[in-house]
Amino acid sequence: MKRILSAFIALTLSLSTMTALAQDEAPKTPFAYPVAPDTCTTLESRCNYICQHFWDNYDISKPIANDDDFLRAFRDFVEFFQFANRNVVMTSIGELMNKARSNTPNLLKVGKAAELSLYYPTAVYYSDEVYVEFAKALANNKTLKKEVRTYYADQLSRINSCQEQKALPDIEMVMADGSKQKLSALCDTTTTVMFFYADGVDSSIGRTRLSADANLESLIDEGVVKVISIYLGKYQADFAATMPKKWINTCSEQALEIYDFRALPCCYIVGRDLLLMTKNISVDEFKEGLTN
């Protein structure tokens, strides 16, 4: 539904709204957005033009006067990525980052806007490939403080280690009885659901909702699916006391350092040989997938 709505928004903006910006009834934007010429007759060509010229009327070298307005514009910019040509998107990102380098506070704000718009649960468009372009520019910028560069470098490392359709890094898990086991030895079925959680109410609610799902319970009983819960904290003798007995309950501080998490709790779905099928799925999204 969200993708359909996004498509409708992009189509509306590119075909009608964008050409009416000068009219009184047009939606207010932080600055004048580009208008695709009539020669752009397809959705992709119009989105390409808008991506290429989106920031023409905004001087990113000057201090950003209103952070909320800038974030709103950035999110509008990102909306067009999913309908534009990949090379056009990457080039437009490079040009924006090159211009923003002249003003360090602005560069940091671009990075934060990219996280909120492409990476975190607030994203309007999820894309590791696109977000990495922003993160790399920040991690490699020598004018930024070391802690900032390290922050983005660590983020890049986690993203790169958890690519869909590639094998996850094998890590050591601590079992409920204190023994240790490799993750690869636990993922010996066709499909394994990895449920990552930490301390807090959200994780507790997520665990309860997932463990109460009758469809998942049936799949576990049939041996089709295995569930591994992974507590992202230090081992405690009773950490698994409240976890479902049919799950394999483990803990791992290492996972928090190596794996890519956008929010907790979340699920990864992996196949044999730790092949990552999908990541950062919320409990509700996973449950919805079981019923479809």
Helix (H, G, I), strand (E, B) or coil at 270: strand
Mean pLDDT of 132-159: 96
pLDDT at 141: 95
| Stretch among 13-17, 167-171, 206-210, 236-240 having the lowest mean pLDDT | 13-17
* C-alpha–C-alpha distance, residues 256 and 258, integer Å: 6
Indicate yes or no: pTM above 0.75.
yes
Contact 136, 250 (CB under 8 A): no
What are the sequence ranges of the domains in the chain? 2-161, 172-291
Contact 51, 92 (CB under 8 A): yes
* Pairing mode of beta strands 225-231, 191-197: parallel
Nearest CA among 222, 186, 229 for reference residue 207: 229
pLDDT tier, 290 (very low <50, low <70, confident <90, very high otherwise): confident
Nearest CA among 198, 193, 194, 235 for reference residue 215: 193
| Stretch among 3-12, 112-121, 205-214, 272-281 having the lowest mean pLDDT | 3-12
Residue 9 has pLDDT above 80, yes or no: no
pLDDT at 16: 39
pLDDT at 28: 78
Nearest CA among 77, 83, 61 for reference residue 113: 77
pLDDT at 108: 97
| Stretch among 6-20, 81-95, 160-174, 275-289 having the lowest mean pLDDT | 6-20
Average pLDDT score over the chain: 89
Which of residues 236 and 188 earns the better pLDDT score? 236
Residue 17 has pLDDT above 70, yes or no: no
pLDDT tier, 245 (very low <50, low <70, confident <90, very high otherwise): very high
Residue 8 has pLDDT above 60, yes or no: no
Residue 250 has pLDDT above 90, yes or no: yes
Helix (H, G, I), strand (E, B) or coil at 269: strand
Mean pLDDT of 31-42: 95
pLDDT at 188: 82
Neighbours of 169 (CB within 10 A): 14
Share of the chain above pLDDT 70, in %: 90
What dotted CATH number matches 172-291?
Answer: 3.40.30.10
pLDDT tier, 11 (very low <50, low <70, confident <90, very high otherwise): very low
